[in-house]
């Protein structure tokens, strides 16, 4: 029966019969010891390899987990990027809407500004008026120099600065020669007109005058008849009538 010296189950006695020389037995004992050491080394290496494989597997698992975490993070970032893109699109649309609204408001403001200007123009063109008359109420004595009779006083409305006045004077004068009359508006006399007496010693005459002038809002001005006669003792019935238009 053959003996396998490398079989761990083979004993030294089987490998080295007792009848063999002692030196050869010792040699085989050394070889057997080295064989056992080799098997122990192989077991140690296998154990170390198992540990290394386990470490590598742990590292692979850790790497896979890290990769999964990175992938999840990337998915999250991608979703956030999509959300941000949608938000930016929404804000852009809102900005466009606000820009359009601003343009509309600007146009409306321009329209309102023009309307205000038109209103200001209309207000500036607004007018109002007044009219009045006055009489001496009877015969008034005339002097030889002009005096005022039948005075009308006009009040200027607030906000108005210009007056346009049309006025006239009528006179019935008792005089042997003539009487002279004029219409005065706000201190300025119109042309003096002579009314000559008829055979009965009576003279009828009239005077017209118009003016446009500046006035003070809330102030007053007068319209009156100016009359005189070169003949002492002359008298007259005098009437003043006037209409005024006020402008702003």
- Same domain membership, residue 105 and residue 7: yes
114 and 147 together in one domain? no
Please give the DSSP secondary-structure letter assigned to residue 141: E
- Total structural domains in the chain? 2
Q: Are residues 100 and 141 in the same domain?
A: no
If asked whether residues 1 and 107 sit together in one domain, one would say yes
Looking at residue 156, the DSSP 8-state letter turns out to be P
Q: The tokens of 178 are what?
A: 């003539």
Last residue of a domain, which of 108, 125, 142? 125
Tell whether 81 and 138 lie within a shared domain.
no
Q: Are residue 151 and residue 238 in the same domain, yes or no? A: yes
Q: What is the CATH number of the domain that holds 205?
A: 2.60.120
- 201 shares a domain with 93: no
* pLDDT at residue number 55: 81
Distance (Å, whole) CA 158 – CA 248: 9
Q: Same domain for 158 and 190?
A: yes
Domain that holds residue 31: 1-125
Q: How far apart are CA 127 and CA 115, in angstroms?
A: 20
Q: Position of tokens 């975490």?
A: 69
Choose one of 69, 102, 125: the last residue of a domain.
125
pLDDT tens digits for 41-96? 777 777 777 778 788 888 888 888 888 888 888 888 888 888 888 988 999 999 99
Give the residue-averaged pLDDT of 209-218: 98
Asked if residue 170 and residue 83 are part of one domain, the reply reads no
Q: What is the DSSP string of 182-237?
A: EEEETTEE---EEEE--TTSEEEEEEEEEEEEE--TT-EEEEEEEEE-SSTT-EEE
* Domain-ending residue, one of 83, 105, 125: 125
Domain shared by 165 and 54, yes or no: no
* Residues listed for the chain: 248
Q: What are the beta bridge partners of residue 224? A: 184
98 and 120 belong to one structural domain: yes
Helices and strands (H and E) in the chain: how many: 2, 10
Q: Is 241 helix (H, G, I), strand (E, B) or coil?
A: strand
Tell the burial category of 135 from Cβ atoms under 10 Å away from its Cβ (0-12, 13-18, 19+): middle
Whether residue 110 is found in the same domain as residue 156: no
pLDDT digits (tens, 9 = 90+) for 157-196: 999 999 999 999 999 999 999 999 999 999 999 999 999 9
Per the model's pLDDT, the better-predicted residue between 87 and 11 turns out to be 87
pLDDT band with cut points at 50, 70 and 90 for residue 18? low
The secondary structure of residue 130, as a DSSP letter, is E
| Cβ-based neighbours of 221, under 8 Å, separated by 6 or more | 153, 154, 156, 163, 185, 186, 187, 215
């Amino acid at each position: 029966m053959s003996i396998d010296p490398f079989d761990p189950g083979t004993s030294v006695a089987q490998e080295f019969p007792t009848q063999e020389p002692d030196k050869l037995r010792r040699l085989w004992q050394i070889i057997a010891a080295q064989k056992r050491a080799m098997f122990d080394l192989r077991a140690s290496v296998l154990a170390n390899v198992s540990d290394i494989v386990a470490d590598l597997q742990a590292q692979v698992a850790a790497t896979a987990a890290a990769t999964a975490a990175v992938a999840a993070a990337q998915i999250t970032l991608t979703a956030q990027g999509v959300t941000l893109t949608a938000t930016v699109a929404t804000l852009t649309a809102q900005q466009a809407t606000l820009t359009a609204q601003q343009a509309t408001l600007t146009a409306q403001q321009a329209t309102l500004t023009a309307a205000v200007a038109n209103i200001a123009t209309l207000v500036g063109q607004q007018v109002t008026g007044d009219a009045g008359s006055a009489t001496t109420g009877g015969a008034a004595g005339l002097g030889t120099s002009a005096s005022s009779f039948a005075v009308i006083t006009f009040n200027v409305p607030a906000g108005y600065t210009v007056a346009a006045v049309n006025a006239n004077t009528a006179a019935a004068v008792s005089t042997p020669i003539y009487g002279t009359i004029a219409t005065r508006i706000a201190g300025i006399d119109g042309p003096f007109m002579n009314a000559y007496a008829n055979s009965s010693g009576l003279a009828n005459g009239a005077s017209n005058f118009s003016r446009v002038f500046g006035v003070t809002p809330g102030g007053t001005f007068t319209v009156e008849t100016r009359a005189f006669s070169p003949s002492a003792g002359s008298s007259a019935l005098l009437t003043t009538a006037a209409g005024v238009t006020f402008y702003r």
